[in-house]
Structures are given as C-alpha cells and as structure tokens.
Amino acid sequence: MKITVAGTGYVGLVAGVCFAEKGYDVTCVDVDEKKVEMMRQGISPIYEEGLEELIRKNNADGTLHFTTDYKCAYRDADAIFIGVGTPEMPNGSANLSYIATVSRQIAETVEKDCLVVVKSTVPVGTNDKVEQFIKDFLVHHVKVEVASNPEFLAQGTAVHDTLHAARIIIGTESKEAEELLTKIYEPFGLPIVSVKRRSAEMIKYACNDFLALKISYMNDIANLCELVGADITDVAKGMSYDERIGARFLNAGIGFGGSCFPKDTKALKYLAREHGYQLKTVEACVDVNVSQKTRLFEKAKDRMITFNGLKVAVLGLTFKAGTDDLREAPSIDNLKLLLAAGADVFAYDPKGAERAEMIFPVGKVENGTMTYVSSVGEALDKAHICFVFTEWPEIKAVMPVEFKERMHTPLVYDGRNLYPIEAMKEAGVEYYSIGR
Ligand code: UDX
C-alpha cells in the first residue's frame, strides 16, 4: 500500500511519520523546498517530542520520503491524505484555497483508483465539494473517492496522540472507502468510529468547540469566583470527580490560544450563521475568551499609574507549554498592550523566543522596548512587575522567595495559577492570579 500525504504541517507530517512507523511506504509532499530538504536530512521543521527521532528512523528504513514533486507522489498512490492548513479568513470562515490547490493537483495527476482522505479541519460539506471538484478535473479515467478522517492531536503530544488516539473517526459514503480506510488504520489497533462524511466533519468541530467551551466556562466561573470569594482551583477539583464532567480542560487561565480552538470556534460560528442559525453557546465562548486574554493586563493597569519605563518580566510566550508555537497566544495580545504603554519587556520562554522575535523584534517596539533573556532569573532581576503567560515547568518551579528577592517590586500577575497563594503571601509577594 502506497500512502501519500499532502502538507507537512503538524497534521500532515505527524500522520505521515506515524503511517511510516506502522510499516507503510509513505511520501510526504510539500511546496517548501527548504523544508523538504531539512526533513530529508532528518530535521523536523517543528518542535514536537519524539518526532525528529521517528523521522530519522523511518528515513533510514526507507519507508518515509519527502518531495516537492507532487506528480510523482500522487500518480500511483493508493491513498492520499490531505493535511494542509485551513487558516482563518478575516470574516472567521475557513480558507480552503490550499485544499483546492491540492485537490486540483490530485485530479490532474492520479493514474489509478485512489482514496483521497481529508485530515484537515474543514467546514461541514467540504468533502462533498472536494470529491466533485476532483471529478470535474480528472484527467485519467480512474475512480477517486473522498473520505473524511479528522485529526485530534494536540501540540506537544502530537506523536503520542496519533499513535494512541482515543478513537479514529472515519467518514465515508461507500463501503469500499470505509473498508480501505479501516484497513489502513488496522495496525494502530485503535477504536474506529465509522460514520457518514458530513458527520465526521462535524465531529471535529463539535469536539474542539466543546473543549473550548469548557475552558471559557471555567474562565467565566473563575471571574465570578474572584467576586464572591471562592477559589476556582478548588471548584474545579470538586467538579472533576463527576465523571459526567470529566477531570480535564477545567483549568481556568489566560484564555485559549493555538492553531485550533480560536479558529474552529469562529469557523463553526460562521458556518452556523451561513445557515441562518446563531450558535449562541459557541459565540459566548469566543467572547469570553477575547476578554479573558487581557484580563490580567487590565487589572494591572488599574493598579499602576503607568507602565512607561517599567521593567516588565514576561514568563512564557507560547500558547501552552511543550510547543514553540505562538499562534493566537494570549502573550501576543498582552505584549502589544504593554509595549504600546511604554513598558520595557524582558521575556523568557524556553522554546518560543525565536518565533516571538518575528512579531516583536529586539529593541524599540511601539513606545517600549523588547528584550529576550535566556533564564527566568534574568527576566525577574530588578523587574517592577511580572506576568506569567505559559505554564512551562521551569516557570512553575520558581520559588515565591525568588520573586521577592530578585524583583524591584514583587508584583506578580499569573495567568496560569502556578503558585500557591499562601506561599506567595508569606514570601511578601503581591500576587494576582485567575479566579482565586
Ligand atoms: C487542541 C485539541 O486539544 C486537539 O484535540 C485538536 O486536534 C487541536 O486543538 P492544541 O491546540 O494543541 O490542541 O492544545 P490544547 O492542549 O488543547 O490547548 C489549547 C488551548 O487551551 C491552550 O492555549 C491551553 O493553554 C488552553 N487550555 C487548555 C486552558 O486554558 N485550560 C485547560 O484546561 C486546557
């Protein structure tokens, strides 16, 4: 069985590598020559635990290939997985141009019957259109079917999530397609849920938006906890024992970021509106998240006369720990506000500084300045105020007394609830967190 994967972002690359790991002959296609060359040399273009090792191993085994030559890669593939991006359009809808480009290339090159499997997150009904589009442009007399197979991996645990997924969702319109996709996933030994194509597409959005809703709900409750004198971490703990609620995704904080939740909540909201329906729950979830992201900044603004000329320590830049990704990270919204307000920001992040520098270059930015440091200590030294945006272990490990001793003024705004309130108080730190 020959498998081709289009797109080597998080979804495509991890899928390709995992299929190779399961013994398939896999070719990954990308338009970016530099990136393809890197991967051929065993270098992963993204930081993801275990990924680079698997790329190297399967490159050496000869089961994994990288190319920009899509014609060769698609021509005789049994299955082509599409894992290209579906970024957000200015109006919140999903941009399907990459999907369209790949679909057309497939139509113009496939020379034998094949199954096209859409892994990218796409609005409900897109797979029907992809199938029709491919049929419209087919050059050779072959049968091409389209299946939906949404991906549920989370960044930071992508390889593990793929090899040990809770379930594989397969959305097909024919018995043959269902059987082929089931066979491809057989070596993974995972539960398979087989449904129609549109339901599979909806499952992906329903899952992501449900998780995002859970977070916004906890953030909403956390904000109320502050007003009524309850502690959200205790509240979450109490809730977590109820199996109907579940123990995960109950952490209140600085709001969700990343490449999925922000985009997928807006996309579903848009899809509903397109169909004349207002998805009120998801719309509320988006609204709560927008204000949550800068809640701590607003609080700090009320406490300070000015940020102008103050040394502001920023601990954590990525949208969560375990990744170098900054997409939709709450840190971005806060840095914009801090720099506009004239702050001298000293930021520490173990993986995200390089990407952050592309958005906020070193030196003068707006009315403030931006400096990246290589340790928590350097960020804290003589700082007037500290913001915590990401729950990296080394940031979590900071002892309350370090804030007191290193900072000019021990004033900490923690968007991840990382430190015990009592210990911070005892150390003499003025400490604000979320919902406690
Ligand atoms: C998510 C989904 O988990 C995954 O199944 C889907 O395929 C893609 O989107 P990811 O974006 O990588 O994965 O990260 P995730 O761990 O889900 O976190 C998303 C955001 O929510 C992060 O900003 C995180 O900090 C935040 N979050 C998560 C909370 O604020 N509280 C929580 O309890 C959990």
Express as a percent the part of the chain with pLDDT over 70: 100
Distance CA 307, CA 38 (A): 43
For residue 349, name the pLDDT band (cuts at 50, 70, 90).
Answer: very high
Per the annotation, does 219 bind a ligand?
Answer: no
Instruction: Output the DSSP codes for 244-299.
Output: TT-SSS---SS---SSSHHHHHHHHHHHHHHTT---HHHHHHHHHHHHHHTHHHHH
**251 touches 218 (CB < 8 A):** yes
Nearest ligand 1 atom to alpha carbon 264:
9
Q: At 65, which helix (H) or strand (E)?
A: strand 64-67
283-304 average pLDDT score: 97
Q: Whose CA is nearest to atom 22 of ligand 1?
A: 256
pLDDT digits (tens, 9 = 90+) for 93-116: 889 999 999 999 999 999 999 999
Give the residue, 225 or 91, on which the prediction is more confident.
Answer: 225
For residue 394, name the pLDDT band (cuts at 50, 70, 90).
Answer: very high
- Portions of the chain given CATH number 3.40.50.720: 2-195, 294-432
Model pLDDT, residue 93: 87
> CB of 162 closer than 6 A to ligand 1?
no
Instruction: Name which of 13, 12, 1, 20 is nearest 59 in CA terms.
Output: 20
Nearest ligand 1 atom to alpha carbon 155:
12
pLDDT digits (tens, 9 = 90+) for 308-336: 999 999 999 999 999 999 999 999 999 99
369-398 average pLDDT score: 98
> CB of 251 closer than 6 A to ligand 1?
yes
Ligand 1 pocket mutation pick from 46, 261, 265 by most atoms within 8 angstroms of CB? 261
> CB of 260 closer than 6 A to ligand 1?
yes
**208 touches 218 (CB < 8 A):** no
Per the annotation, does 320 bind a ligand?
Answer: yes
Per the annotation, does 253 bind a ligand?
Answer: yes
The class (CATH top level) of 294-432 is alpha beta
Distance CA 75, CA 430 (A): 64
172-191 average pLDDT score: 98
Per the annotation, does 252 bind a ligand?
Answer: yes
For residue 292, name the pLDDT band (cuts at 50, 70, 90).
Answer: very high
Q: Which residue has tokens 């804030």?
A: 403
368-373 and 363-365 beta bridge pairing: antiparallel
3-state SS class at 7: coil
- Portions of the chain given CATH number 1.10.1040.10: 204-292
Distance of CA 381 to the CA centre of its chain: 32
Point out the residues that are catalytic: 260
Model pLDDT, residue 332: 98
Q: What is the value of pTM for the model shown?
A: 0.94
183-190 average pLDDT score: 98
Spell out the residues 6+ positions from residue 259 whose beta carbon is closer than 8 angstroms to its own. Answer: 10, 155, 325, 327, 328
- Which of left, alpha, beta for 6 (phi over 0: left; psi -120 to 50: alpha)? beta
Mean pLDDT of the chain: 97
Q: Whose CA is nearest to atom 27 of ligand 1?
A: 256
Cα pseudo-dihedral 262, 268, 269, 273, rounded to 10: 150
**255 touches 285 (CB < 8 A):** no
Per the annotation, does 68 bind a ligand?
Answer: no
> CB of 205 closer than 6 A to ligand 1?
no
CA of 216 to the centre of ligand 1 (A): 12
For residue 150, name the pLDDT band (cuts at 50, 70, 90).
Answer: very high
Distance CA 338, CA 344 (A): 8
114-118 and 79-82 beta bridge pairing: parallel
Express as a percent the part of the chain with pLDDT over 90: 97
Domain spanning 2-195 has what CATH number? Answer: 3.40.50.720
Model pLDDT, residue 387: 98
Angle between helices 51-61 and 10-21 (to 10 degrees): 50
> CB of 188 closer than 6 A to ligand 1?
no
Phi, psi of 72 (to 5 degrees): -60, -40
Model pLDDT, residue 251: 98
pLDDT at 263 over 90: yes
The class (CATH top level) of 204-292 is mainly alpha
For residue 88, name the pLDDT band (cuts at 50, 70, 90).
Answer: confident
Distance CA 60, CA 68 (A): 19
For residue 92, name the pLDDT band (cuts at 50, 70, 90).
Answer: confident
Distance CA 234, CA 221 (A): 12
Distance CA 188, CA 169 (A): 13
128-137 average pLDDT score: 97
Report CA torsion sign: 356, 362, 364, 369.
Answer: positive
Instruction: Name which of 104, 12, 120 is nearest 66 in CA terms.
Output: 12
pLDDT digits (tens, 9 = 90+) for 27-83: 999 999 999 999 999 999 988 889 999 999 999 999 999 999 999 999 999 999 999
**393 touches 308 (CB < 8 A):** no
Instruction: Name which of 354, 410, 348, 404 is nearest 379 in CA terms.
Output: 348
Q: Whose CA is nearest to atom 6 of ligand 1?
A: 152
